[in-house]
Structure 1
Amino acid sequence: MAELLKAGAVFFVGFLALYLLIVLVVWLGQERMIFQGHVLPQHYAFSFKADFEEYSIPAADGAILNALLFRSDSSSRGVVLYLHGNRGNLSRWGHMHRPFTQRGYDVLLIDYRGYGKSTGKPTESGLYQDGEAALQWLLQYYEARKIIIYGRSLGSGVAAYLAARNPHQLLILETPYDALTNVIQHQALLPLPGCIFRHHFPTYRYLPAAEGPIYILAGSHDRLIPLYLSKRLQPLIGTPENFKVIQGAGHRNLAAFQAYHFELDRLLLP
């Protein structure tokens, strides 16, 4: 019995030490986990197969955002504000204009502060300011009723925040989460104390206040943001049928599936 108690005590102490180590790693390294932007020199020249215009958009706190505007070859039906995921920069994300320009929409993509050629340091509140600055810039050239807010992965939380505070045509979220803290909890495989998180991105709080249609596209085999976290948003979007699962898709490859393009046709084409 004494041997069993001793072994149990050793196991408990070892588990507790491992747990505290995980908590410490998340506490110290969450910015590096969440914001994986790659910086570009200011003289960097983007190269895409389509024509584009490059702009610098000021945020309210003085950060300068690098932005690319791709115009549709046909008469524009409106514009998509595309808020990308947590990795890379516009050199990686610029090609994402294609599904929208091919359907007759202009597309504005921004790099968040600290990403690419954008200045500043990324934070949750900072990314909200970045999205707001991009949207206000668009409103100088497009009517609100012709602006589609599209958020992918990390950008889905920013998109939901904007939609709750600004008029727009519709909101589309790709591979979203209910709260980013739950994504980290899922990846850690252990319950973590909420007090250690500095960035929350609580999408579930913003969706009920968003006016206009909301559509969610999620992959059935998403390992980064598992489907069950996306599905927590389904009761909040007004029309549960607007939650579409792309069967077989993971986190990064929805566009490789015909079902994804079928949904875009249904949403974007008359």
Structure 2
Amino acid sequence: MIFAAGLALYLIVVLLVWIGQERFIYQAHSLPLDYRYTFDVSYEELRIPTADGETVNGLFFRANGDKRGAVLYFHGNRGNLSRWGHLHRPFSSRGYDVLMIDYRGYGKSTGKPSETGLYKDGEAALQWLLRHHTLEEVVLYGRSLGSGVAAYLASRHTPKSLILETPYDVLPNVIQHQVMLPLPGGIFRHHFPTIRYLSKARCPIHILAGTHDRLIPLRLPLELKPLLRSPSDFLIIQGAGHHNLSAFQAYHFELDRLLLP
């Protein structure tokens, strides 16, 4: 009876993951089209068309001082640009134009989020940015969920560099960590195989991760370390969690090393 009860509980968990994985992965918050962002710097709001007919909302922040290039920033799985937009500062303050987008279904962007859809959103954003910068000037930056999108683009293009903050090897491993149970691979509809995309990338790759990340434990980004050109390209920030890497000086020292001449 104990075995039967345990099996029944396990099957319930599998069913819940099968049914609810989109809700876990894509925690999108929409915004009305007339919503006005409030930032303490000027910005340009964009409506970027995708190859499959959706429209992606974006924010473009211009660099402070002399331009060194551009950062295409892909945010995490929750919220929208009203939450993420202020994160342009570490890059614009270092002389980089910054383009940030809301994935389809997030903020003012149309459509419904999916793995292939987010890749198309990323490609559309990159093509817009390439009207203003050469590919050799573009840094792809992916945070959490966005690390899979940034890695995908790096596998298809050769930007200046790729920086991943709190990434994962494959997304199903993040879900399995959260439910604390081994799950059959066939139940997952969204994979974001960052580890496979990094094996195809030809640009310099840099990874930032914290020791106290409860959402994406350090062991998952460490799976990506063998794909880097040098062990020094993997920065482990002691005491940092999933959401607060930028609160540590080590994070800013690393951005100085990677982005400044």
Q: For 2:58, which of 48, 52, 67 is the aligned residue?
A: 67
TM-score, normalisation: structure 2:
0.99
Number of the residue aligned with 1:132: 123
Deviation at 1:13, TM superposition (A): 1.1
Number of the residue aligned with 1:203: 194
Residues in 2 aligned to 1:238 and 1:181: alpha-carbon distance in whole angstroms: 26
**Contact 1:83–1:151 (CA under 8 A) maintained in structure 2:** yes
Q: How many residues align?
A: 261
> Do structure 1's residue 55 and structure 2's residue 42 form an aligned pair?
no
5 Å-filtered alignment, 1:82-101, equals 82-101=73-92
Number of the residue aligned with 2:245: 254
Deviation at 1:167, TM superposition (A): 2.1
Number of the residue aligned with 2:144: 153
Residues in 2 aligned to 1:240 and 1:75: alpha-carbon distance in whole angstroms: 31
Residue by residue, what CA displacement relative to the aligned partner does 1:93-120 show, whole Å, maximum 9, x if unpaired? Answer: 0000000011111100000000000000
Number of the residue aligned with 2:153: 162
Number of the residue aligned with 1:118: 109
Number of the residue aligned with 2:258: 267
**Contact 2:105–2:111 (CA under 8 A) maintained in structure 1:** yes
Greater CA radius of gyration, 1 or 2?
A: 1
Deviation at 1:75, TM superposition (A): 1.8
Residues in 1 aligned to 2:169 and 2:115: alpha-carbon distance in whole angstroms: 15
Residue by residue, what CA displacement relative to the aligned partner does 1:136-170 show, whole Å, maximum 9, x if unpaired? Answer: 11111101110000000000000000001012100
**Contact 1:208–1:237 (CA under 8 A) maintained in structure 2:** no
Residues in 2 aligned to 1:267 and 1:74: alpha-carbon distance in whole angstroms: 18
Residue 249 of structure 2 aligns to which amino acid in structure 1?
Q
Q: What do you get for the CA RMSD once the two structures are aligned?
A: 0.6
Number of the residue aligned with 2:176: 185
Number of the residue aligned with 1:6: none
SS of the aligned residue for 1:164 comes to: helix
TM-score, normalisation: structure 1:
0.96
* 5+ long unaligned stretches in structure 2: none
Residues in 2 aligned to 1:141 and 1:105: alpha-carbon distance in whole angstroms: 12
Deviation at 1:241, TM superposition (A): 2.0
> Do structure 1's residue 42 and structure 2's residue 33 form an aligned pair?
yes
Residues in 1 aligned to 2:13 and 2:137: alpha-carbon distance in whole angstroms: 45
Segments ≥4 residues shifted beyond 4 Å: none
* 5+ long unaligned stretches in structure 1: 1-9
5 Å-filtered alignment, 1:8-23, equals 10-23=1-14
Residues in 2 aligned to 1:154 and 1:227: alpha-carbon distance in whole angstroms: 15
Residues in 1 aligned to 2:128 and 2:158: alpha-carbon distance in whole angstroms: 14
Number of the residue aligned with 2:164: 173
